[in-house]
Amino acid sequence: MAISRRDALSLSGSTLAGLSLGILDGGTPALAQTPAPAKPAEAWPDTLVEKPLRAGFPAPLPLNADGSAIEHPAAEGGAITDPLMWKTPDRTAPVIEYDYRKLAVKVDTRGLGRLAGTLRFADLEKLPLVSHTFLLQCGAANPRGVVTWTGVKFSDVADMLGLVPGAHYCRFIASDRHYVDESIATLRHPQVMLAWLMNGQPIPAKHGAPLRLIVPFRYGNRSLKAITEIVFGTPSLPMPPLPA
Percent of the chain having pLDDT more than 90?
62
Q: What is the pLDDT of residue 166?
A: 86
CATH number of the CATH domain containing 82:
3.90.420.10
If asked whether residues 112 and 211 sit together in one domain, one would say yes
Q: What is the pLDDT of residue 90?
A: 87
Percent of the chain having pLDDT more than 70?
81
- Residue 65 belongs to a domain: no
- Residue 187 belongs to a domain: yes
**Does the pLDDT of residue 10 top 90, yes or no?**
no
**Does the pLDDT of residue 13 top 50, yes or no?**
no
If asked whether residues 102 and 14 sit together in one domain, one would say no
Domain limits at 196? 74-233
If asked whether residues 129 and 209 sit together in one domain, one would say yes
Query: What integer best gives the mean pLDDT of the chain?
Result: 85
If asked whether residues 20 and 81 sit together in one domain, one would say no
Q: In the chain, how many domains are there? A: 2
What digits encode the pLDDT tens for the residues 106-140?
999 999 999 999 999 999 999 999 999 999 887 66
| pLDDT band (50, 70, 90) for residue 33 | low
Of 159, 140, 132, 150, which Cα lies nearest the Cα of 216? Answer: 132
Higher model confidence: residue 31 or residue 118?
Answer: 118
- Residue 2 belongs to a domain: yes
Q: What is the pLDDT of residue 55?
A: 85
**Does the pLDDT of residue 244 top 80, yes or no?**
no
What digits encode the pLDDT tens for the residues 179-226?
999 999 999 999 999 999 999 999 999 999 999 999 999 998 899 999
If asked whether residues 115 and 225 sit together in one domain, one would say yes
Q: Which of 7-16, 37-46, 69-78 has the highest mean pLDDT?
A: 69-78
169: how many CB neighbours lie within 10 A of its CB?
19
If asked whether residues 12 and 117 sit together in one domain, one would say no
Higher model confidence: residue 56 or residue 225?
Answer: 225
SS3 at position 40 = coil
Our measurement of the distance from residue 132's CA atom to the centroid of its chain's CA atoms, rounded to an integer in Å, reads: 21
**Does the pLDDT of residue 18 top 80, yes or no?**
no
Cα distance between residue 213 and residue 209, in whole Å: 10
Q: How far is CA 241 from CA 126, 212, 213, in A?
A: 32, 21, 21
| pLDDT band (50, 70, 90) for residue 236 | low
If asked whether residues 17 and 138 sit together in one domain, one would say no
If asked whether residues 105 and 18 sit together in one domain, one would say no
- Residue 94 belongs to a domain: yes
- Residue 221 belongs to a domain: yes
Arithmetic mean of pLDDT, 133-152: 85
Q: Is the dihedral of CA 192, 196, 202, 203 positive or negative?
A: positive
**Does the pLDDT of residue 175 top 50, yes or no?**
yes
If asked whether residues 139 and 21 sit together in one domain, one would say no
- Residue 58 belongs to a domain: no
Angle at CA of residue 182, ends 147 and 95, nearest 5°: 60
If asked whether residues 26 and 114 sit together in one domain, one would say no
Beta carbons within 8 Å of 111's beta carbon, 6+ residues apart: none
- Residue 167 belongs to a domain: yes
**Does the pLDDT of residue 14 top 50, yes or no?**
no
Please answer whether residues 162 and 114 qualify as being in contact, where contact means their C-beta atoms are separated by less than 8 angstroms. yes
If asked whether residues 18 and 92 sit together in one domain, one would say no
If asked whether residues 117 and 205 sit together in one domain, one would say yes
- Residue 35 belongs to a domain: no
What digits encode the pLDDT tens for the residues 58-80?
888 899 999 999 999 999 999 98
Arithmetic mean of pLDDT, 18-37: 52
